[in-house]
Amino acid sequence: MHDSPQASSQFTLKHGERITDCSPLWTSGSDRILEEIASCNHCLRSTYRVIVVTSATGLERRASLYVQHFIHAARTFPELRPNTISIGQV
């Protein structure tokens, strides 16, 4: 049985991992890091968002996602959706 191309391009978390940050493509920092995140990890198109994932042991990894991959991930992981603040909440 073969996996569909879409199945292999979905962002996932491994057991014990959690999303700790999500930001637009970074434009400053180490050249090596900028090179690593410039293209989507799944399709090599330009990165739309960089997601930082932290393991249960505290190790971090970055996932660079093209806009369509990010939209799919946001449907799966609520923490990637824009935060909504209720009126009166500090």
Q: Per-residue pLDDT tens for 2-45?
A: 334 444 558 999 999 999 999 887 665 666 667 677 889 889 89
The model scores a pTM over 0.95? no
Q: Which two tokens stand for residue 21?
A: 């940050």
Summarize pLDDT for 52-72 with one digit per residue, the tens.
Answer: 999 999 999 999 999 999 999
Looking up tokens 């991930």, which residue turns up? 73
Looking up tokens 């999500």, which residue turns up? 22
Q: Report whether 61 contacts 37 (CB < 8 A).
A: no
Task: Spell out the domain ranges in the chain.
Answer: 16-80
